[in-house]
Amino acid sequence: MVTRFYEEGVNGRDWEVVTNLLAPDFTHNGQRLGPGGQRRSLETLYAAFPDVRVTLNDTVLAGDTVVTRMTWSGIHRGAFMGIPAGGRRVSWTAISIIRLSAGKIAQAWGIEDTLGLLHQIGGVVEARSR
């Protein structure tokens, strides 16, 4: 189910898959998004990185919990977090802990290398020692 969500839903831009696999009260990092909110989050990402793809590097299943380590990659072609498009190819890593319930993805807690991504698109200036 999680693999299908990422491969068909996220990479394939298949909103029906996203909607069908997420619980109506789906939460991400404690924020209730539901399928519609998750779609809006993905659309924001697609606007900045239209060719973004996620690769699942590792997936571990334990009971109703799935842990994934993944790599996201794409070309920065639209504004992201206020940073204008720079046309750079970027990649960043993320880890998600996903809870399944009643045949749906009910909850996800994730952490990603946002600082590394911002550095790649020119949103972080390195501090220099004096």
**For the whole model, what pTM was predicted?**
0.91
Residue 125 has pLDDT above 80, yes or no: no
pLDDT tens by residue, 34-73: 999 999 999 999 999 999 999 999 999 999 999 999 999 9
Mean pLDDT of all residues belonging to the chain = 95
**pLDDT at site 121:** 96
Please say if the pLDDT value at position 126 is more than 80: no
Return the pLDDT at 124. 82
Of the candidates 108, 128, 118, which has an alpha carbon nearest to the alpha carbon of residue 48?
Answer: 118
Q: Can you name the residues that pair with 30 across neighbouring β-strands?
A: none
Q: Are residues 59 and 3 in contact, defined by beta-carbon separation less than 8 angstroms? A: yes
CA–CA dist 111, 77 (Å, integer): 23
How far is 54 from 3, CA to CA, in rounded Å?
10
| Order of strands across the sheet that contains 22-28 | 31-32, 22-28, 104-112, 89-101, 65-75, 53-62
> Which domains, from first to last, does the chain contain?
2-120 (3.10.450.50)
Q: Give residue-wise pLDDT tens across range 73-84.
A: 999 999 999 999
